Structure 1
Amino acid sequence: MSTHQTTSLLLGLAVIVLLARLLGALARRLGQPAVIGEVLAGIALGPTVVNGALSEHLFPADTRPLLSALAAVGVAVFMFIVGLEVDATLLRGNTSLATTVSLSSILVPFGLGTLLALYLADDYGTDDKTGFMLFLGIAMSITAFPVLARILTDRHMTHTSLGAMAIACAAIGDVLAWTLLAVIVAASGSADADQWRMLLAIPYLAAMLLAVRPLLRRYAESRPHLTLTPTVFACVLAGLLLSAAATEWVGLHYIFGAFLFGAVLPRTGTDRLRTHIHDRLGQMTSTLLLPVFFLVSGLQVDLSTLDGSALGALALILLVAVGGKFLGAFTAARLHRMPPRPAAALATLMNTRGLTELIVLNVGLQLGFLGRDLYSLMVVMAVITTAMTGPLLNWILGRPTAADTATPYAPDPPAETETVRTAA
C-alpha cells in the first residue's frame, strides 16, 4: 500500500465510524433501531448525494477493494453471531405454531416475489431469468433475526410468550431462508467454483452437524468451567473463518459457513462463554466492520435518478414484501387460534428485515441476480420495512414501558428464553 492509499483508508474509516455512530444514535432517539441510521450513513456517503463527489473524494477507487475486504470480514463475523444466537429451546411448548408461522411467512412472500419478478423482468431482469425470479422471491422472504431481537429487548418483550414466539419464528425463518438461498446459489451455477466442488456441500454440512457439533459438545461438557481464554478465542475465530472459507470454496457464499459454525457451537452450560464471545466480537464488528459494510452497500445505491417508473416499481415491491410477510404470518397465527391483536403484532415483527436483507441483496448483486437499479430499490424496501416495525407495534400493542411484564398471548406455558443480545 502506498502512503496515499493508507492515508485515504484511515481517514475514510474514521468518517465511516463517526457518521454511522452519529446517525445510529439519532435513529435510536427517533425510536428506530440503530441499523436504520447506519444504513442511511452508508447511502449518504454513496453516489445518491451530490452525484458521488463525496464518495470519490473520501474513498478513491484504489482503496475500495480494501474496504470490501473489511466488509466481508464484518459480515462473516456478524453471520457467526446470528448462528450463535439461534437456540432450539426457544421452540419449547409452541413448536407447531412457530414452525407453521415461519413456513407461511417464508412461502407466501416467496411465491408473490417470484410473480413480481415476472412483471419486473423486462425493466430490471438479468440474463439469468430463473435466478432472478428465485432470488427476488427469497429477498422478499427475509426476516432480520438480530434486529427483531433488539426491538423486543427495547420493548421489554423478550420474556413474554409473544416475544419468545417471535424470536423462535425468526430463528426458524432465518435457517429456512439461508437454506433456500444456498440452494438457489448452488442451482444457478453463478458461484465461481468447479462443478465437482458443489458435491462437497452436503458432506460438509453433515460433518459439521454430525461430527463437529458432538465433539464440541463433549469438549464443553468435560470442562464445566470453560472460560474465554486467548487460546479459546483464537480457536473460535479460526473456526468461523475456516468454515466461511470452506463454503466459499465449494461454491456457496462464505456467509453460510460462518452462520453454520455459530449454529454448531454447544449451548448447554456455555452461556457465559457465548456471552463473552459475543461481547468480544460484537463491539468491534458493530463499531467498525459493519459500518464499512454499510458504506460498501451504499456505494452501490443511487437514488438520484429515480423517476416515476422506478417509484411505481418500489410501490409494488413494498406491497409484495409487506403484504406477503404479514398475510403469511397473520393467517398462520390465526389458524392456531392466536387472538387478532397478538397475531398482527407477530406478523409485524416478521416484516423486520434490516441488516440481514442487505447481506442477501449484496449476495444477489455479486452473483448477478440483481442489477444496480433494482438493488437500490430493494435497499429502500429494507429500510422502510424495518423502520415501520416500531410505529406499527406502538399502534397495535401500545407504547412500551419499563414495567411491561404482561403476556399478550399465552395459550401454552410461556417459553423460557434469555434476552437475546445482538450486534445490530
Structure 2
Amino acid sequence: MNDSDVFLLAMLMIFAIPYLVWRIVRTDSYAPLVVVQIIAGILLGPGVLGAVFPGYYSLVFSPHVIAALNGIAWWAVMIFVWIAGIELDLKQVWKHRLDTSVTASLALGMPFLLGCIAAAAMLKLGVWSGVAGKSWQATFGIGMACAVTALPILVLFLDRLEILRSPFGQRVLRYASFDDVAIWGVLALILLDWNRAGRQLVFLIGYAVAAYAIRKLMARLPERDRWYVGLVWLAASGLAADWSGLHFMVGAFLAGAILDSDWFDRKQMDLFRDGVLLSIMPVFFLSTGLRTSWNMHGGAVLILAAVLLLASVVGKLLGVQLAGKILKWPRGDAYRIGWLLQTKALIMIIFVNILLDKGIIDHPTFTALLLMAVASTMLTMPMLAAKRAGSVVDAVEAG
C-alpha cells in the first residue's frame, strides 16, 4: 500500500469505529461522540491495540501518516480554541461578577489545590515529570488539569438536558468561561521562558497593537469577510505566539478572545463549530490517543489516574458546595453545578497535549491525565441522573 492508501485507511478507522460504537452501544447519555472518539484513539494507539498487534500499528500509523494526521490535528484544534475564545461572554461575567468570581474561584481553586498536592506527591517518585519541565511547572500543570472544565462538552450536556438557554444553564456557562480564561493564563505562566523573555515581550506588545487594529477592521467588514479575515488573524496570532515560545494554542485562544461574538451570526457559529467537531476534530482525538503510553506498567498509570480523578471530583464538589453556602443558593443547586462542572475532555486534553509537547510531563502522566479527563466527563450525566429529585428543568425554574 502506498502512503495515500494508508492515510485513507487511517481516516476510515478514525471516523468509522467511534461512530459505530456510539450508535450501536448508545453511549450518548453518558459519553457523547467526542468522548467515544477519544477512547477510540487510546485503544487504537500503541499502548493497547498497537501492543497486541504491532504489525498493524507500524503499517497504519507510519511516520509519514502520523505527520499528516498531526498537521490536520493542529489546525483543527486551533480553530476549535479560536471559536471557544470568540464565544467567551466576558460582559456577562462582569455583570454577575460577585457570583461568578466567588463560585468560579472556589470551583477552580479547590481541585487545583488537591491536584497540586497529588502531583507534588507523585513527583517525589521522580518518574512522572518531563525531561524539560521543572517541578513547579509539572505540579501547576497537573493541578490545573484537575481543575479545568471543558466548555464545549458542557454545552453539549446542557443542550441534552434542555437547559442550555435557561438562566440556570447560562449561569453554569459563566462559571466555566472563567475557567477557560484561567487555564490559558496558567499555561502562559507555565510556559514563560526567561531565555525568551525578549521575544515574549515583543509578542505581547505586538499582539496588543495588532488586536486593536483587527478589532477596528472587523467592525467595518461585512460578516461574510469576517470569517475569512478571522482565520487569517488566527494563523498569524498562532504563529507569533509559537515564535515567542508561548505555544500556538495560546495565540489561537487570544485570537478569538479579542473578537466580539456578536460580530458573527449565532446559528452560523454553531454550524461552524459543529462542522469542525464533525469533520476534522476526530483526527485530533486519534492523534492524542496515539501519544498514550503504558511503559511504567499499566497498573501504576491506572492508580495515578484514579488519584487524580479523586482530587478533581472531590475538589470541584467541595469548592462549589462552599460557594453555595457563601452565596446562599437554593438547595440542590451546588450538587448539580458541581457535577456539571466535572466535564473536561476537549480543553483539558488540549492543555495536557501542550504540556507533553513542551516536555513538562512525560507520556505515562499524559496517559493518566487523559484517562482522568474521560472518566470525569463520563461521570457527569449518570451522577446527575442518580441524584435527581424531580426534573432538572423544575429545579432550574425554582432557581
Q: TM-score normalized by structure 2? A: 0.89
Indicate yes or no: 2:267 matched with 1:275.
yes
Residues 289 and 341 of structure 1: is their aligned pair in 2 closer, same or farther, counting only changes over 3 Å? same
Q: Give the letter aligned to residue 325 of structure 2.
A: R
SS at match of 2:2: helix
**What is residue 338 of structure 2 aligned with on the other side?**
347
Q: Give the letter aligned to residue 7 of structure 1.
A: D
Name the structure where helix makes up a greater proportion of residues.
2
Confirm or deny: 8 A CA contact 1:329 1:350 kept in the other structure.
no
Residues 307 and 12 of structure 1: is their aligned pair in 2 closer, same or farther, counting only changes over 3 Å? closer
SS at match of 1:300: coil
Q: TM-score normalized by structure 1? A: 0.84
C-alpha deviation, 1:34, in angstroms: 1.8
The equivalent position to 2:96 in structure 1, one of 90, 94, 97, is 94
Residues 209 and 108 of structure 1: is their aligned pair in 2 closer, same or farther, counting only changes over 3 Å? farther
RMSD over aligned CA atoms reads 2.5
Residues 35 and 50 of structure 1: is their aligned pair in 2 closer, same or farther, counting only changes over 3 Å? same
**What is residue 416 of structure 1 aligned with on the other side?**
none
**What is residue 136 of structure 1 aligned with on the other side?**
142
Residues 292 and 338 of structure 1: is their aligned pair in 2 closer, same or farther, counting only changes over 3 Å? same
Q: Give the letter aligned to residue 16 of structure 1.
A: I
Whole-angstrom distance in 1 between the partners of 2:206 and 2:107: 29
Residues 142 and 102 of structure 1: is their aligned pair in 2 closer, same or farther, counting only changes over 3 Å? same
Identity rate of aligned residues, in percent? Answer: 25
Q: Where does 1:317-356 land on structure 2 (aligned, <5 Å)?
A: 317-356=308-347
C-alpha deviation, 1:11, in angstroms: 2.0
Confirm or deny: 8 A CA contact 1:90 1:164 kept in the other structure.
no
Whole-angstrom distance in 1 between the partners of 2:71 and 2:261: 31
C-alpha deviation, 1:244, in angstroms: 1.4
C-alpha deviation, 1:252, in angstroms: 0.9
**What is residue 118 of structure 1 aligned with on the other side?**
120
**What is residue 371 of structure 2 aligned with on the other side?**
380
Confirm or deny: 8 A CA contact 1:156 1:400 kept in the other structure.
no
**What is residue 407 of structure 1 aligned with on the other side?**
396
Q: Where does 1:108-187 land on structure 2 (aligned, <5 Å)?
A: 108-121=110-123, 122=125, 123-127=127-131, 128-187=134-193
1:99-157 deviation line (CA, Å, top 9, x unaligned) = 11111222222222222122101132334222211211221121101100110011011
C-alpha deviation, 1:278, in angstroms: 4.4
Whole-angstrom distance in 1 between the partners of 2:395 and 2:114: 36
**What is residue 371 of structure 1 aligned with on the other side?**
362
Residue segments in structure 2 that go unaligned for 5+ positions in a row:
none
Confirm or deny: 8 A CA contact 1:49 1:304 kept in the other structure.
no
**What is residue 208 of structure 2 aligned with on the other side?**
206
Residues 362 and 399 of structure 1: is their aligned pair in 2 closer, same or farther, counting only changes over 3 Å? farther
SS at match of 2:64: coil
SS at match of 1:63: helix
Residues 129 and 281 of structure 1: is their aligned pair in 2 closer, same or farther, counting only changes over 3 Å? same
Residues 267 and 312 of structure 1: is their aligned pair in 2 closer, same or farther, counting only changes over 3 Å? closer
**What is residue 34 of structure 2 aligned with on the other side?**
35
**What is residue 58 of structure 2 aligned with on the other side?**
56
Residues 329 and 207 of structure 1: is their aligned pair in 2 closer, same or farther, counting only changes over 3 Å? farther
SS at match of 2:159: helix
Residue segments in structure 1 that go unaligned for 5+ positions in a row:
221-225, 411-424
Q: Give the letter aligned to residue 250 of structure 1.
A: S
Whole-angstrom distance in 2 between the partners of 1:259 and 1:315: 30
The equivalent position to 2:19 in structure 1, one of 18, 21, 25, is 21
